């Protein structure tokens, strides 16, 4: 895949540059910290409420500080993707607000979601429990056997959405987006992809036929752990209006200040992702030879079963990994307790290296039998590898492993 256009010109420039805001000459667009906007042109204001324009009226309906960042994220997803002509984005108060809104925009009572078996714990809880209370059923699949997926779709005509994460949290398993999208289109089913782990720097799901992309932009997109945000990116006006209606009516909007922080992070996204990936590669190689490590899940290693797929649909392995300790739950807890330099927390995508134990944090809401069946073991540690000096990261992991 030729990435010169993305890497050297358009993508990096989109990250850095901001649009000019009307009637403002500041180098950096201002934070419009206002709930309402005055009706300078009364006829235009009336036209807005008739749906005839998009002028600023009320921040729940749209805010200039938020709108241009949402469009920047959409432009990054569509950069150099010839098939996508009008990508549009919306920003939400959190990643879960974005995910739930994207799903709600495409589903109604009586519909069903075909969901990847391995997903973020809160996403799994949302789809399997919260949505069930709304009359939306769910069916799980690992998406490795496309004939099986086809049989599931044929046996469940109420499936209207396929929802997947790739790479998945926390096993780093990957899904062939094109294979899923090609099948879904035969049955008029929408494909929603959570691109949080990869970001558009490492993967553009629109290239492979995805319909909607969702993010916890709290993570790598913000990159500094300074605020919560979520994004939904669509590639046609119809899906944009559906998602916008959910946002407007449910009110899960992003504040102008949080949008400002997100934009500051996006400006350095390409630089950070390079270092995240380089450090993660070196750490993964160190761990793969350690006697107290049973298994390392990192897409840059030949041992990962999805490495070839990742190379075909991604621009790099991302800065995420997980690994399984010999000794199970006790070993996982001991490792976390002995981390000193790196940071123990459940999030990911910040400039510093983060370490967490999924079984007791992000996936604690997933029943243990299901968690084990999808590869999230009691001794698994997930790490978001930061951009610190790599020898300091490795030294901390080494001493923590010595204590296990």
CATH number, domain containing residue 280 = 3.90.1150.10
| CA 212 to chain CA centroid, nearest Å | 12
The C-alpha atoms of residue 370 and residue 357 are separated, in whole angstroms, by 17
* 256 and 289 together in one domain: no
Q: Looking at 267, 301, 320, which one is the last position of a domain?
A: 267
Q: Looking at 217, 249, 267, which one is the last position of a domain?
A: 267
* 235 and 323 together in one domain: no
**What tens digit of pLDDT does each residue of 181-232 get?**
999 999 999 999 999 999 999 999 999 999 999 999 999 999 999 999 999 9
* 282 and 368 together in one domain: yes
Q: Which residues contact 340 (CB under 8 A, 6 or more apart)?
A: 396, 399, 400
Q: How many CB atoms lie within 10 A of CB 399?
A: 13
CATH number, domain with residue 176: 3.40.640.10
Residue in the structure block whose two tokens are 């995240």:
276
Please report whether residue 168 resides in a domain. yes
Q: Which residues contact 395 (CB under 8 A, 6 or more apart)?
A: 341
* 78 and 223 together in one domain: yes
The C-alpha atoms of residue 180 and residue 79 are separated, in whole angstroms, by 22
Give me 307's structure tokens.
């490495």
Please report whether residue 44 resides in a domain. no
* 118 and 263 together in one domain: yes
Mean pLDDT, residues 253-257 taken together: 98
pLDDT tier at 7 (50, 70, 90 boundaries)?
very low
Record the pTM: 0.94
* 184 and 297 together in one domain: no
* 303 and 218 together in one domain: no
Taking alpha carbons only, the member of 105, 121, 152 closest to residue 252 is 105
* 202 and 313 together in one domain: no
* 92 and 184 together in one domain: yes
Taking alpha carbons only, the member of 338, 401, 348, 119 closest to residue 356 is 348
**What tens digit of pLDDT does each residue of 322-349 get?**
999 999 889 999 999 999 999 999 899 9
Q: Looking at 252, 267, 282, which one is the last position of a domain?
A: 267
Please report whether residue 45 resides in a domain. no
Domain count across the chain: 2
**What tens digit of pLDDT does each residue of 271-320 get?**
999 999 999 999 999 999 999 999 999 999 999 999 999 999 999 999 99
**Res. 357: pLDDT tops 50:** yes
Please report whether residue 40 resides in a domain. no
Percent pLDDT > 90 in the chain is 82
Q: What is the pLDDT of residue 367?
A: 79
Please report whether residue 144 resides in a domain. yes
Please report whether residue 215 resides in a domain. yes
**Angle made by CA atoms 392, 270, 214, in degrees to the nearest 5:** 105
Q: What is the pLDDT of residue 22?
A: 64
Q: Which residues contact 161 (CB under 8 A, 6 or more apart)?
A: 103, 106, 107, 111, 113, 114, 189, 190, 191, 192
* 171 and 243 together in one domain: yes
Taking alpha carbons only, the member of 123, 75, 50, 74 closest to residue 243 is 74
The conformational region for residue 158 under phi > 0 = left, psi -120 to 50 = alpha, else beta, is alpha
Classify residue 198 by its DSSP letter: T
Q: In terms of pLDDT, which residue wins out, 161 or 359?
A: 161
* 298 and 316 together in one domain: yes
CA distances from 365 to 37, 102, 125, 129, 306 (A): 42, 22, 7, 11, 26
Q: Which residues contact 358 (CB under 8 A, 6 or more apart)?
A: 121, 170, 322, 376, 380, 382
Asked if 271 and 11 count as a contact pair (C-beta separation under 8 A), the reply is no
* 206 and 86 together in one domain: yes
Please report whether residue 52 resides in a domain. no
Please report whether residue 196 resides in a domain. yes
Residue 77's domain comprises 4-30+62-267
pLDDT tier at 6 (50, 70, 90 boundaries)?
very low
The C-alpha atoms of residue 343 and residue 332 are separated, in whole angstroms, by 15
């Amino acid at each position: 895949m030729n990435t010169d256009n993305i890497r050297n010109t358009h993508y990096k420039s989109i990250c850095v540059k901001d649009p000019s805001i009307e009637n403002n000459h500041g180098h950096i667009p201002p934070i419009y910290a206002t709930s309402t906007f005055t009706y300078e042109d009364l006829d235009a204001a009336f036209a807005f409420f008739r749906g005839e324009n998009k002028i600023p009226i009320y921040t729940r309906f749209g805010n200039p500080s938020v709108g241009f960042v949402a469009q920047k994220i959409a432009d990054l997803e569509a950069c150099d993707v010839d098939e996508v002509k009008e990508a549009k984005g919306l920003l939400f108060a959190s990643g879960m607000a974005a995910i739930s809104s994207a799903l709600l925009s495409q589903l109604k009572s009586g519909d069903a979601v075909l969901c990847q078996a391995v997903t973020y714990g809160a996403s799994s809880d949302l789809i399997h429990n919260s949505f069930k209370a709304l009359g939306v059923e769910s069916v799980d699949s690992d998406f490795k056997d496309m004939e099986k997926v086809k049989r599931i779709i044929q046996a469940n005509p109420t499936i209207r959405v396929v929802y997947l994460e790739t790479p998945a949290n926390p096993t780093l398993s990957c899904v062939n987006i094109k294979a899923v999208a090609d099948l879904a289109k035969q049955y008029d089913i929408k494909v929603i992809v959570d691109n949080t782990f990869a970001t558009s720097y490492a993967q553009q799901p629109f290239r492979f036929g995805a319909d909607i992309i969702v993010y916890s932009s709290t993570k790598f997109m913000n990159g500094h752990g300074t605020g919560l945000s979520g994004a939904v990116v669509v590639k046609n006006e119809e899906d944009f209006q559906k998602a916008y209606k959910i946002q407007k009516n449910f009110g899960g909007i992003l504040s102008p200040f949080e949008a400002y922080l997100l934009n500051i992070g996006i400006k350095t996204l390409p630089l950070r992702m390079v270092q995240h990936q380089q450090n993660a590669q070196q750490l993964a190689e160190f761990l793969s030879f350690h006697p107290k490590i049973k298994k390392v899940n990192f897409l840059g290693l030949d041992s990962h079963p999805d490495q070839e797929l990742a190379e075909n649909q991604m621009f790099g392995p991302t800065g995420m990994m997980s690994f399984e300790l010999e000794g199970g739950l006790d070993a996982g807890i001991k490792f976390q307790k002995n981390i000193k330099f790196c940071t123990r927390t459940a999030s990911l995508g910040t400039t510093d290296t983060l370490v967490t134990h999924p079984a007791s944090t992000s996936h604690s809401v997933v029943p243990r039998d299901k968690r084990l069946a999808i590869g999230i073991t009691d001794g698994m540690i997930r790490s978001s590898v930061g951009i610190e000096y790599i020898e300091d990261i490795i030294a901390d992991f080494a001493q923590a492993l010595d204590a296990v």
